[in-house]
Amino acid sequence: MGETRIGVFVCHCGTNIGAYVDVPQVVEYVRGLPNVVHAECNLFTCSEEGISAIKKAIAEYNLNRVVVASCTPRTHEPLFRAACEEAGLNKYLFEFVNIRDQCSWVHMREPEKATEKAKDLVRMGIAKASLLEPLEEVEVQVTPSALVIGGGVVGMNAALNLAEQGLEVQLVEKEKQLGGILLHVHKLFTTDEEASKLVGSLVQKVKNHSQIKTYLSTKVKSVSGFMGNFDATLDQNGKESNVKVGTIIVAIGAEELKPAGQYGYGKLPNVVTQLELEQRMKRGGLGGQNVVIINCVGARVPERTYCSGFCCMTAVKNATLIKQSSPEARVWVLHRDLMAYGVEFEDYYRKSMEQGVRFIRYGLEKPPEIMGDGKAEKVKVWHQLRGREVELPADMVVLTTPLVPRGDNEEISKMLKVPLSEQGFFLEAHLKLMPIEFATDGIYICGSARWPTDIAGGISQAYAAAAKAAIPMRTGYVKPEAITALVDEDICSGCGTCEPLCPFKAIELQARNGKKVSHVAEAVCKGCGTCGAACPSEAITMNHFRDVEILAQIEALFS
């Protein structure tokens, strides 16, 4: 490639870096380093001005390596790489140095030391950049068909959205019917529309859509392959079939917690959960009754600290519906905090109070108590506002419980090699930057399988997941990152150490000229480096993180 010509761009990131690191001093310093032919600072290197400066400098100084010292590669690496590519430079000849998260932000009270550390970090980046090699990405064809697992309101919306774009969808539902939890729900907040109306119209649209093939009473037995080329085996009551798909959307929902043993649930016949109440209301009114609803049962407690979000509105909805159908009924909602967020929910809550529903706040230190013989007859609760205990007559006690992960989560997580959160829900790649994607390319997550959500939130996620999945399927191909592991088959001893270590199942032993060697599926490999670090024969090279590049960085640190 001839002479190495590096351009360095040091970003102020407004005051994020500039207020603590002496950016002009860093620029002055790097100008004297080997192979650096151009260095400048920018207020925001990611701005249009900053990007043009990079492209201009590549042409003007004939740069063949670019180093940007700024914020984080998580958000900005693609942007700077694209700038290099647009200026005709292979994007893998770009090196990112993070002088914000690990420098200015953590050394705000020591600006001089922060500046010295920034110089060290940039010097290391330049040393690595000097040795970078151009890499080429392989093109992988994408089958224009998606597998949607779960036929609840969210899975059906994702399927319809993809089908409307002309893409084929294989919709797999383990039950005999599409609809999920909503099949058992009476009416929906805040419109009080019948849940069956929404489900019915969605099921009709799914059934009538020529692009959607629905498999009822079916589970996905196994999945192999990678983004663009997944092979799934479906099991429909013992009958197996195979489908080839380009992408997978997980929408298997969650289930209502059954709070066995709490407040007499399971023992007292008139203590029920919200979903059981919904089913009774679906069958007909409750008559003039005294109903006590207890919120946050099994939620926001030490063993399950999260809030399901929508259950307060479910309690408000059902309390109001009882009052509407039997104005003589007396209904109390015992709550810890009432989550009536947004523009509609607060009004819905206010109207509920106007219609005579009584709300009483309780604390965890004095939870409500059920009194009665063989059935609940009264609920005793410490009324925080009145500062005394009150006894409420109860013909029925309704427990508002959170959504909890389905038992299937573990099995599907292992099958698709995607992670679960601490609570057992599916874990997205990044809460803010990749909220409906898994780290494994081509697999997406939406609805209450990801986190308890109401219908509106679930549908937004369904559309987002469908939109993301549609991009590679409509483009017809993807170009996975070229930063992958590379096996030297002559050196590989076929010991197999790497195979079980790979978190993405990208490596397998294959037969070559009478011996076994490791083979890396480039489209699956994420370049994490686990195999390279473990290989006893040093047969695995990590593209873009070769030993020489890392060693050069270390040497630069101590030089």
**Interacting residue ranges for ligand FAD, rule: CB under 6 A:** 149-155, 172-175, 180-182, 185, 188-189, 219, 251-254, 256, 274-275, 278, 310, 314, 317, 406, 408, 412, 447-449, 453-456, 458
Count of C-beta atoms within a 10 Å radius of residue 329: 21
Q: Give 99 or 188: the residue with its C-beta nearer to ligand FAD.
A: 188
Give whichever of 116 and 256 is closer to ligand FAD, judged by the CB atom.
256
Distance CA 154, CA 171 (A): 12
User: What is the smallest separation between the CB atom of 341 and ligand FAD, expressed in angstroms?
Assistant: 13
Smallest gap, in angstroms, from Cβ of residue 430 to ligand FAD? Answer: 20
In the complex with ligand FAD, the residue whose CB is nearer, 155 or 246, is 155
Distance CA 146, CA 163 (A): 9
Q: Residue 258 or 546: which CB sits closer to ligand FAD? A: 258
**The tokens 């929906």 sit on which residue?**
188
Among 411, 420, 469, which residue's Cα sits nearest to residue 441? 469
Closer to ligand FAD by Cβ: residue 7 or 180: 180
- Smallest gap from Cβ 7 to ligand FAD, in A, equals 49
Question: Closest CB to ligand FAD among 9 and 189?
Answer: 189
In the bound state with ligand FAD, the residue whose beta carbon lies nearer, of 251 and 381, is 251
Instruction: Determine the residue type at 200.
Output: G
Supply the minimum distance, in Å, between the C-beta of residue 250 and ligand FAD: 9
Q: How far is the CB of 237 from ligand FAD (least distance, A)?
A: 13
Tokens of 313: 């509105």
Distance set, CA 499 to CA 29, 520, 523, 531, 534 (Å): 45, 9, 16, 8, 10
Determine the Cα–Cα distance for residues 447 and 441; give it in Å rounded to an integer: 19
DSSP-derived 3-state class of residue 292: strand
- In whole angstroms, the minimum distance from the beta carbon of 253 to ligand FAD comes to 2
If the CB atoms of residues 120 and 255 are measured against ligand FAD, the closer one turns out to be 255
- Phi/psi of residue 498, nearest 5 degrees: -70, -35
CB of residue 252 vs ligand FAD: minimum separation in angstroms? 4
Which secondary structure element, helix H or strand E, spans residue 275, and what is its range? helix 274-283
Q: Give least dist CB 466 to ligand FAD, A.
A: 13
Q: Cα(13)–Cα(97) distance, rounded to whole angstroms? A: 13
Q: Considering beta carbons, is residue 212 or 507 the nearer one to ligand FAD?
A: 212
Q: Of 473, 420, 468, which is closest to residue 444 (Cα–Cα)?
A: 468
Strands (E), 4-87: 6-11, 36-42, 65-70
Q: Who contacts 477 (Cβ-Cβ below 8 Å, separation ≥6)?
A: 139, 140, 141, 142, 228
H or E element that contains 333: strand 330-335
Enumerate residues 6+ apart whose C-beta is below 8 A from 22.
111, 115
Q: How far is the CB of 409 from ligand FAD (least distance, A)?
A: 8
Q: How far apart (Å, rounded) are the C-alpha atoms in residues 150 and 179?
A: 9
Based on CB atoms, which residue is closest to ligand FAD, 214 or 270? 214
Q: At its nearest, how many Å lie between ligand FAD and the CB of residue 487?
A: 36
Whose CA is closest to 1, among 178, 148, 130?
130
